[in-house]
C-alpha cells in the first residue's frame, strides 16, 4: 500500500470513515503528481509556470475565437482551463452554504467540504468506490432508479437487497426496512432517494423522524452503517407536512458508527441537466476537520484516477448563478411551474372515470408519478403508447412511470386521457 494511502488511513482510523472504507477506499490516495504540483505552482509561481499541460498566451489559457465567442464574460481560466480535481474552491464553499441554508436542521454539525463530481450518478458511484466491496449488501426500497442495479451489482459486484417501499396503507414501510436491517448485521450501505424516483414520494415529518431513529438504532447496535442520500430532486416539495430537508441533516451527526454521504447537485435543483455537476459531502459524529480533509483527499484521488476533474465551465457558470441577485426568485418561478403540473395531475386523477386498471402510488414531490398496473402489462402499455407517440417508462412489468415535469400544463388532460384510453384497451383485450 502506498505511503500516502497509509498516512490518510492513519488519520481516519479512529472513525467510521475508515472502518467503512472498501478495499479500494483504503488503497486510494491523492498523489503528489502533476495536479498537486501544479496547484502548488499556481499559488507560488508568478514568474513562469510550466506545470499543467495547457497552452497559454499573455498569461491566459488559449481559446479558439470560434469557442470564445460563446463564452460571454467568462475568462479562459473560468472556461477552457482545467478545474481542480475536487472542484472550484469558491463553488465548493458556496454549495456548503447552500446545504446549510436548505437544511437548517443540520445546525452546527461539522461536515466535510463538498467535493465536485461530474453529475450525481458519478457522485453515487464515487461513494460506492470508497465504501462498497464485492459482496456487500446495499439496502434500498423496491421502488428504485434502475441505474442503481447497473452500478452496484454489475460494476461493483455488490448485492442489492430491497424492502417494500409502501405498506398496505401506502405509508413509508419502516417496518420492512427494520426487518431488512435486522437480517443484515455487521455492515450495510443504505441508499435513500427522496423525492423518490420513480414514485415522486417524500416522507412526512413523522416518517422522516422515525426513519432516522431506525437507522441510528442499527448503528447503535454496533453495525458499521453508511447512508447515502441521493438528493437529486431536492427542493421540489408540493404538500405541507413533508420533511423538506435532506435526511443528511439528522444523520450526519447521529452516531459514531454512522457515516452519512450526501449526493446532490445542480442537475435538477438548478435546471442544468447537461452541466453534469454533482457534489459529495460527508458527515459523522466525532469526525475532526483533518479527518474530513483526509476523506476528501481519498475522494479526490478516486476522481483523479477516472475523470481527472469535472467541467470547469459549468462550475463557474453555476457559481455566478448562485451569486446572482435573481437566482432564488428564478428558481421559485420554475418550481411553481412544476407544482402547477403536479396539482393538475392530482385533479385529473381525482376526477377520472377511466383507466381503472391503473392505481397511482402516493406522490407529493419531484418530477414523477407511478402507476401500479393491476391487470395489464406495463411494458405492453408502454409499447402501445409509443404507437400513439406518447413516451412513458415501464418499471418492470408492473409499474408505469410518468415524468409529468416534461409535459406542459395545457397538455396534461390530453396526455393522461391517452394513457387511460390505452390502459382500458389493454384491459379489455
Q: According to the model, what pLDDT value does residue 32 have?
A: 85
Tens of pLDDT, residues 262-315: 999 999 999 999 999 999 999 999 999 999 999 999 999 999 999 999 999 999
Does the pLDDT at position 429 exceed 90? no
Q: According to the model, what pLDDT value does residue 272 have?
A: 95
Pick the CATH number of 327-428 from 3.90.1150.10, 3.10.129.10, 3.40.1410.10, 3.40.50.2300: 3.90.1150.10
Higher pLDDT, 185 or 37: 185
| Residue 39: pLDDT band with limits 50, 70, 90 | low
- What integer best gives the mean pLDDT of the chain? 95
Does the pLDDT at position 47 exceed 60? no
Query: Which stretch of 62-71, 137-146, 334-343, 382-391 has the lowest confidence by average pLDDT?
Result: 62-71
172 strand-pairing partners:
166
Please identify, in words, the CATH class of the domain defined by 3-30+85-322: alpha beta
Does the pLDDT at position 41 exceed 60? no
> Beta-carbon neighbour count of residue 21 at 10 Å?
24
56-57 and 60-61 as β-strands: parallel, antiparallel, unpaired? antiparallel
Does the pLDDT at position 35 exceed 80? no
Average pLDDT over residues 28-47: 66
Tens of pLDDT, residues 98-114: 999 999 999 999 999 99
In three-state form (DSSP H/G/I as H, E/B as E, the rest C), the secondary structure along the chain is CCHHHHHHHHHHCCCHHHHCCCHHHHHCCCCCCHHHHHHHHHHHCCCCCCCCCCCEECCEECCCHHHHCCCCCCCHHHHCCCCCCCCCHHHHHHHHHHHHHHCHHHCCCCCCCCEEECCHHHHHHHHHHHHCCCCCEEEEECCCCCHHHHHHHHHCCCEEEEECCECCCCCECHHHHHHHHHCCCCEEEEEEECCCCCCCCCCEHHHHHHHHHHHHHHHHCCCEEEEEEECCCCCCECCCCECCCCCHHHHCCCCCCEEEEEEEEHHHHCCCHHHCCEEEEEECCCCCHHHHHHHHHHHHHHHHHHCCCCCHHHHHHHHHHHCCCCHHHHHHHHHHHHHHHHHHHHHHHHHCCCCCCEEECCCCECCEEEEEECCCCHHHHHHHHHHCCCCCEEECCCEEEEEHHHCCHHHHHHHHHHHHHHHHHHHHC
Q: According to the model, what pLDDT value does residue 414 have?
A: 98
Q: According to the model, what pLDDT value does residue 42 have?
A: 62
Provide the residue ranges of all domains of the chain, joining segments of one domain with +.
Answer: 3-30+85-322, 327-428
Amino acid at each position: 500500500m502506498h505511503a500516502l494511502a497509509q498516512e490518510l488511513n492513519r488519520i481516519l482510523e479512529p472513525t467510521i470513515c475508515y472502518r467503512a472504507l472498501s478495499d479500494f477506499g483504503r488503497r486510494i490516495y491523492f498523489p503528489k503528481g502533476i495536479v498537486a504540483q501544479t496547484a502548488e505552482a499556481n499559488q507560488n509561481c508568478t514568474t513562469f509556470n510550466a506545470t499543467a499541460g495547457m497552452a497559454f498566451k499573455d498569461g491566459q489559457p488559449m481559446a479558439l475565437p470560434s469557442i470564445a465567442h460563446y463564452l460571454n464574460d467568462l475568462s479562459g481560466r473560468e472556461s477552457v482551463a482545467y478545474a481542480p480535481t475536487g472542484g472550484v474552491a469558491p463553488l465548493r464553499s458556496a454549495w456548503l452554504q447552500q446545504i446549510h441554508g436548505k437544511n437548517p436542521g443540520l445546525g452546527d454539525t461539522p461536515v466535510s467540504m463538498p467535493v465536485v463530481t461530474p453529475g450525481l450518478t458519478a457522485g453515487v458511484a464515487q461513494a460506492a468506490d470508497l465504501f462498497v466491496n464485492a459482496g456487500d449488501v446495499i439496502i434500498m426500497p423496491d421502488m428504485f432508479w434502475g441505474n442503481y442495479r447497473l452500478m452496484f451489482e454489475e460494476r461493483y459486484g455488490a448485492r442489492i437487497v430491497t424492502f417494500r417501499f409502501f405498506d398496505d396503507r401506502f405509508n413509508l414501510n419502516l417496518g420492512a426496512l427494520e426487518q431488512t436491517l435486522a437480517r443484515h448485521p455487521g455492515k450495510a450501505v443504505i441508499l435513500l432517494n427522496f423525492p423518490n424516483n420513480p414514485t415522486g414520494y417524500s416522507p412526512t415529518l413523522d416518517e422522516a423522524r422515525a426513519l432516522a431513529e431506525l437507522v441510528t438504532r442499527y448503528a447503535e447496535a454496533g453495525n458499521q452503517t453508511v447512508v447515502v442520500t441521493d438528493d437529486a430532486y431536492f427542493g421540489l416539495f408540493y404538500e405541507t407536512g413533508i420533511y423538506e430537508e435532506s435526511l443528511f441533516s439528522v444523520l450526519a451527526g447521529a452516531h459514531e458508527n454512522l457515516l452519512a454521504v450526501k449526493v446532490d447537485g445542480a442537475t435538477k435543483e438548478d435546471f442544468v441537466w447537461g452541466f453534469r455537476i454533482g457534489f459529495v459531502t460527508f458527515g459523522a459524529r466525532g469526525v475532526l476537520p483533518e479527518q474530513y480533509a483526509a476523506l476528501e483527499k481519498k475522494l479526490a484521488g478516486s476522481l483523479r484516477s477516472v475523470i481527472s476533474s469535472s467541467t470547469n465551465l459549468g462550475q463557474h457558470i453555476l457559481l455566478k448563478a448562485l451569486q446572482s441577485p435573481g437566482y432564488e426568485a428564478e428558481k421559485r418561478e420554475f418550481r411553481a411551474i412544476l407544482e402547477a403540473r403536479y396539482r393538475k395531475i392530482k385533479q385529473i386523477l381525482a376526477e377520472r372515470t377511466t383507466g381503472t386498471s391503473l392505481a397511482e402510488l402516493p406522490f407529493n414531490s419531484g418530477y414523477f408519478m407511478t402507476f401500479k398496473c393491476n391487470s395489464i402489462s406495463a411494458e405492453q402499455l408502454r409499447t402501445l403508447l409509443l404507437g400513439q407517440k406518447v413516451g412513458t417508462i415501464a418499471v418492470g412489468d408492473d409499474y408505469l412511470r410518468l415524468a409529468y415535469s416534461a409535459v406542459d400544463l395545457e397538455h396534461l388532460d390530453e396526455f393522461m386521457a391517452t394513457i387511460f384510453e390505452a390502459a382500458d384497451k389493454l384491459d379489455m383485450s
